[in-house]
Amino acid sequence: SYYFDRDDIALKNFAKYFLHQSHEEREHAEKLMKLQNQRGGRIFLQDVRKPDRDEWGSGLEALECALQLEKNVNQSLLDL
């Protein structure tokens, strides 16, 4: 999110979108952990890796990467 908020990038709507998505995904993770605790499960947290790149050529590239990440998360949830 903050990458797109930089003065040399200045894609404010992309910054708002990715910040909103970040908050939403965090809420999902918190709900899942709460549900696990309620059901007597155990939570084993792992490191969260940063993206492989630090710069995005365009907003489209960032959206494509975000879509692929979302697909990976969905597949991981299906594999549980």
Task: Report residue 74's pLDDT band, with 50, 70 and 90 as the boundaries.
Answer: very high
Mean pLDDT of 52-76: 91
- Is this structure's pTM higher than 0.85? no
Query: What does CATH list as the number for 12-42+54-78?
Result: 1.20.1260.10
Q: Distances from the Cα of 37 to the Cαs of 14, 33, 77, in angstroms?
A: 35, 6, 17
Q: Give residue 79's identity as a one-letter amino acid code.
A: D
SS3 23: helix
Is 20 labelled a binding residue?
A: no
Segment 14-60, tens digit of pLDDT? 999 999 999 999 999 999 999 999 999 999 998 988 888 888 888 99
Nearest to 62 by CA among 11, 8, 27: 11
Known binding residue 61? Answer is no
Domain ranges across the chain = 12-42+54-78
Tell whether residue 25 is among the known ligand binding residues: yes
